[in-house]
Structure 1
Amino acid sequence: MKIYKDEKGLIEITGDETVVVRTEGKDVSSVDISNVRITADNLADFYNVAAQRKDEESALKCVALKQKYLETFGTNVE
């Protein structure tokens, strides 16, 4: 997973497709991450856990934190 700013200054997160695909069709908004600090380090940690475990719960937590990170610091341009 890579987190960077594009030429417009917007946050881009790429390389996490293998984790994101496990959450397709699932309700990510129901995942409670309210006790997690929104930082790039925490997002990277969540991604590493989800990539290693390959389970739905870890993937949902990772994607929920990714969405919160993008809401807080920028947005993907697709």
Structure 2
Amino acid sequence: QTDAAGRTTEYSPDVVTGLTTPDGRASAFYYNHHNQLTSATGPDGLELRREYDESGRLIQETAPDGDITRYRYDNPHSDLP
């Protein structure tokens, strides 16, 4: 799908998988089988990564600069860290 500004967006069922600007700069998005974002690569080639626990909660995010944020959940049934 291309919008009025010339940006092309690619979809897989229910999720955005790619975005390309009119000048050809592309970003890609990858998901697990639960449609949770696992990585995103920007036009500069830098990657954001996310990891989830068996309950589907975000447990770690690695920024493109390598900084790591870890999430801990006090309540095993809570979605809030």
TM-score range (shorter-chain normalised) is: under 0.3
Give TM-score, length-normalised by structure 2. Answer: 0.22
Which structure is richer in relative contact order (CA contacts within 8 A, separation 6 or more)? 1
**More strand by percentage:** 2
User: Which structure dedicates a bigger proportion of its chain to helix?
Assistant: 1
* Larger Cα-atom Rg: 2
